[in-house]
């Protein structure tokens, strides 16, 4: 993952806490599991050792990825967000012109996206399609299922 990751202060702190957990608790536990498996004899036929090494590799990859995300993170202050157009951290109320249903989404970074909570990624097809648009505009968004038509009803925080 490259480029700038825009996040809220809360998400940034959560990522730092997760990284700390991975480094101080999970990494030593993985090393301990490898040491235990190594004590059980021949490493060529030791499935437990192979599994522990693989788990350690996955853990190290996750640590490296999270370090990269944190290094490229830029903390956004919601007070400085311009609500005259759709941007990251804005809440956008839309009317789906095909179904006439209203939905509200919060535009967030990839790390914060959670559709169940109404948070969509700025890099998703809908997020990309809405960026920079203003209230009253009609937007055609290309999604895997086809083209969705939305009208922007409201932009806020």
State pLDDT tens for residues 62-72: 999 999 888 98
108 shares a domain with 148: yes
CATH number of the domain within which 42 lies: 1.10.287.180
100 with 33, same domain: the answer is no
Among candidate residues 35, 56, 75, the one where a domain is terminated: 75
Same domain, 87 and 54: no
pLDDT tens digits, one per residue of 95-148 = 988 888 999 999 888 878 888 988 998 888 888 888 888 888 899 988 888 888
Which domain-ending residue is among 75, 104, 136? Answer: 75
Beta strand 5-7 with 119-121 is unpaired
**What HEC string does the chain produce?**
CCCCEEECHHHHHHHHHHHHHHHHHHHHHHHHHHHHHHCCCCHHHCHHHHHHHHHHHHHHHHHHHHHHHHHCEEECCHHHCCCCCCCCCCEEEEEECCCCCEEEEEEECHHHCEHHHCEEECCCHHHHHHCCCCCCCEEEEEECCEEEEEEEEEEEC
Backbone angles phi, psi at 107, to 5 degrees: -85, 120
CATH of the domain at 131: 3.10.50.30
Boundaries of domain holding 17: 5-75
Same domain? For 84 and 50 the reply is no
Cα–Cα distance between 99 and 101 in angstroms, integer?
Answer: 5
Together in a domain, 83 and 95: yes
Count structural domains, the chain: 2
* 107 contacts: CB under 8 Å, gap ≥ 6: 86, 87, 88, 89, 90, 92, 120, 122, 127, 130, 131
Rounded to two decimals, the pTM is 0.66
pLDDT tens across 25-44, in order? 999 999 998 888 888 777 67
State phi, psi for 95 to the nearest 5 degrees: -110, 125
């Amino acid at each position: 993952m490259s480029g700038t990751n825009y996040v809220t202060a809360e998400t940034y702190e959560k990522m730092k806490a997760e990284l700390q957990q991975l480094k101080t608790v999970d990494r030593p536990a993985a090393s301990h599991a490898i040491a235990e498996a190594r004590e059980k004899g021949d490493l060529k036929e030791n499935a437990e050792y192979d599994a522990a090494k693989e788990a350690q590799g996955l853990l190290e990859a996750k640590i490296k990825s999270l370090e990269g995300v944190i290094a490229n993170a830029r903390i956004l202050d919601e007070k400085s967000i311009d609500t005259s157009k759709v941007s990251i951290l804005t809440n956008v109320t839309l009317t789906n012109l095909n179904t006439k249903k209203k939905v509200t989404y919060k535009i967030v970074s990839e790390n914060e996206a959670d559709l169940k909570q109404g948070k969509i990624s700025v890099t998703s097809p809908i997020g990309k399609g809405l960026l920079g648009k203003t209230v009253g505009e009609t937007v055609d968004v290309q999604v895997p299922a086809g083209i969705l038509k939305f009208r922007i009803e409201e932009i806020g925080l």
